Amino acid sequence: MPKAKKTRKFAVQRKILKQTDSRLKEADRVIRKKKKDDENEIKINEAPQTSSALFFNYNTQLGPPYLIILDTNFVNFAIKVKVDIIDGMMDCMYAKCIPYLTDCVRGELETMGERYRLALKIIKDPRIKSLACTHKGIYADDCIVARVKQSKCYIVATCDKLLKRRIRKIVGVPIMTVGQHKFVVERMGMGV
């Protein structure tokens, strides 16, 4: 007779003892009481201070020539889809664009090694301006987010999902990505 196959148990939960279980010692019991909200107490809601350049969520600091901060993977994706960075930006924005590269992004590209030598050659273009970093480390995402929070005059060019998610939380900062052999900007204009 063939053996019956054992099936794995899915979604098995551990059994948790209730606070009233007799096996628990008195010292291990933690009974949590819910705090009742006092109606007379003043509720404080903390909201981050928004920039004075935002008028009805429209960023008035953005205008030609557009200042665009490049991320490491944006440069790599632009090479992969064979789009020239500066020409692609000008085709996307219909205006003059000034790409900026922070020292952190430059350091990230240099640490990637020989595989990304074409990206290193492209970022040495004199039309790509350099931004000096004053912080420690070379983690580019934190650097870009801090710089964009400080002044909302930049467009962030990235293809990184996590960085996009962080920047979408900042009001008034558009994101440029690579899509279908061209550059695309999201959240530009009203309702930023």
pTM: predicted TM-score of the whole model, two decimal places: 0.70
* pLDDT tens-digit map of 27-72: 766 666 656 666 677 777 777 676 666 766 677 888 889 999 999 9
* Residue 98, φ and ψ in degrees, nearest 5: -115, 105
pLDDT band for 191, please (50, 70, 90 cuts). very low
Cα-Cα-Cα-Cα torsion 91, 93, 99, 105, nearest 10 degrees, comes to -100
Q: Which amino acid, 11?
A: A
Q: Which amino acid, 91?
A: D
pLDDT at position 27: 74
User: Do 102 and 128 touch, CB atoms closer than 8 A?
Assistant: no
- List the domains of the chain with CATH numbers: 64-186 (3.40.50.1010)
pLDDT at position 20: 78
**Which residues, in sequence order, are bridge partners of residue 55?**
58
User: Do 138 and 104 touch, CB atoms closer than 8 A?
Assistant: yes
Instruction: Pick the range with the lowest mean pLDDT from 8-12, 96-100, 162-166, 167-171.
Output: 8-12
* Residue 43, φ and ψ in degrees, nearest 5: -90, 135
Percent over 90 (pLDDT), the chain = 46
pLDDT at position 190: 42
pLDDT at position 143: 92
pLDDT at position 44: 78
* pLDDT at residue 135 greater than cutoff 50: yes
Residue 97: CB partners within 8 Å, gap ≥ 6?
65, 66, 68, 86, 89, 90
Q: Spell out the alpha helix ranges (H) of the chain.
A: 72-80, 85-93, 103-111, 117-123, 140-150, 161-168
pLDDT band for 26, please (50, 70, 90 cuts). confident
